[in-house]
Amino acid sequence: MSESLLTVDGLTVHLPSAARPVIADVSFALAPGECLGVVGESGSGKSVTARSILGIPPAGMSASGTIQFGSHTYDVTDAETMRRWRSKHVGVIFQDPASVMDPTRTVGDYLTEVLVYERRMRRTEALLKAAEMLTSMGLSDPRALLDRYPHEFSGGQLQRICIAAALLPDPDLLIADEPTTALDNTTQALVIDLLDRARRERQVSTVFITHNLELALAFCDRIAVAYAGRIVEIGDTRTVARGGHHPYTDALLRCQPDVSRRHETLPVIAGQPPTLAQPLTGCVFRERCPRATDACVELPAWTAEDERLGYACVHPMTPGTTPSGVHDAA
């Protein structure tokens, strides 16, 4: 594995009204051209992690921690420094592109803003580059599209425009937050193909946020499994596909729909994820884990398999062995 492009260290996010951190001590590294998937149930902190890496945590929340990018280290609390870093090095794809696009401005304005105001490119040159990028996204008649407004496009078209905007400044890093949510299967496959092509042709490193473990396993090089605001395991896709080391990783995998079991009841993980109103001590998964013992009342240390892989569990599993805490739905 080559030297890291991005290293996230001790990223923690607080909400004043919460009894515990929204995300706690999130740390990982990302190599040039690598794709890291971040997966977990709703409320696990995936999207908050994505926004906080960018230095823009959700309203009302405060983030701490550092980002090392190349040879430079940034404090996520330094808003102006983080803004300059984002505009120079990072492309962002949001879950709902319509929510981040100004309905009163044309797609051309949206696509060229960073090029014109941050890269000091002439608008005519920026529009030409934008049209070329739209063509590469599989959108026909790009010159005409630049004069249209967001409401004139379908959800799939808007997502491709959002990907174009993220890639236009030639970023080193791409943060993709649930980019395929609410898209039909055909459009989802197209979006994934576009992201994969960007990674291969441009060597763009990607943090891919998704609730779809099957999709992450197909697209990503490594998987970070999030639960209750903590990363409980980071594994290569082959290990995670066999169940991983952490019981939660194994449970997530066993809950994935499988057409070969279409006549069986879909399994579920026993219990409910903790809310932000619940203070947590020890292993965050222990209340739902059938392997839990008294040793789990202490926060488990991170067991590193190497500098990029590891897990936080005192009773780790051997990938591909015993089921863990998964039951048929009632």
The domain in which residue 11 lies consists of: 6-104+149-311
Q: C-alpha angle with apex 139: 134 to 123, nearest 5 degrees? A: 30
How confident is the model at residue 181, as a pLDDT? 82
Residue 123 lies in a domain: no
Residue 290 lies in a domain: yes
Residue 322 lies in a domain: no
Residue 115 lies in a domain: no
Query: What would the pLDDT profile of 28-70 be if each residue is shown by its tens digit?
Result: 999 999 999 999 999 999 999 999 999 999 999 999 999 999 9
How confident is the model at residue 10, as a pLDDT? 98
CATH at 14: 3.40.50.300
Query: What would the pLDDT profile of 265-297 be if each residue is shown by its tens digit?
Result: 878 898 999 999 999 999 999 999 989 999 999
How confident is the model at residue 78, as a pLDDT? 97
How confident is the model at residue 321, as a pLDDT? 63
Residue 122 lies in a domain: no
Q: Give burial (CB, 10 Å; 0-12/13-18/19+) of 100.
A: middle
How confident is the model at residue 66, as a pLDDT? 98
3-state helix/strand/coil string of the chain? CCCCCEEEEEEEEECCCCCCCCEEEEEEEECCCCEEEEECCCCCCHHHHHHHHCCCCCCCCEEEEEEEECCEEEECCCHHHHHHHHHHHEEEECCCHHHHCCCCCCHHHHHHHHHHHCCCCCHHHHHHHHHHHHHHCCCCCHHHHCCCCHHHCCHHHHHHHHHHHHHCCCCCEEEEECCCCCCCHHHHHHHHHHHHHHHHHHCCEEEEECCCHHHHHHHCCEEEEEECCEEEEEEEHHHHHCCCCCHHHHHHHHCCCCHHHCCCCCEEECCCCCCCCCCCCCCCCHHHCCCCCHHHHCCCCCEEEECCEEECCCCCCCCCCCCCCEEECC
Cα distance between residue 71 and residue 176, in whole Å: 23
pLDDT tens sequence for the chain (330 residues) = 458 999 999 999 999 999 999 999 999 999 999 999 999 999 999 999 999 999 999 999 999 999 999 999 999 999 999 999 999 999 999 888 888 899 999 999 999 998 998 888 999 999 999 999 999 888 999 999 999 999 999 988 999 999 999 999 999 999 999 998 878 888 888 889 988 988 888 899 999 999 999 999 999 999 999 999 999 999 999 999 999 999 999 999 988 877 677 777 878 898 999 999 999 999 999 999 989 999 999 999 999 988 789 999 999 998 876 544 555 444
How confident is the model at residue 182, as a pLDDT? 74
Residue 121 lies in a domain: no
Tokens of 30: 């990302």
How confident is the model at residue 153, as a pLDDT? 94
Q: Give the chain's domain count.
A: 1
pTM: 0.91
How confident is the model at residue 325, as a pLDDT? 52
Residue 44 lies in a domain: yes
Residue 267 lies in a domain: yes
Cα distance between residue 278 and residue 267, in whole Å: 26
How confident is the model at residue 305, as a pLDDT? 85
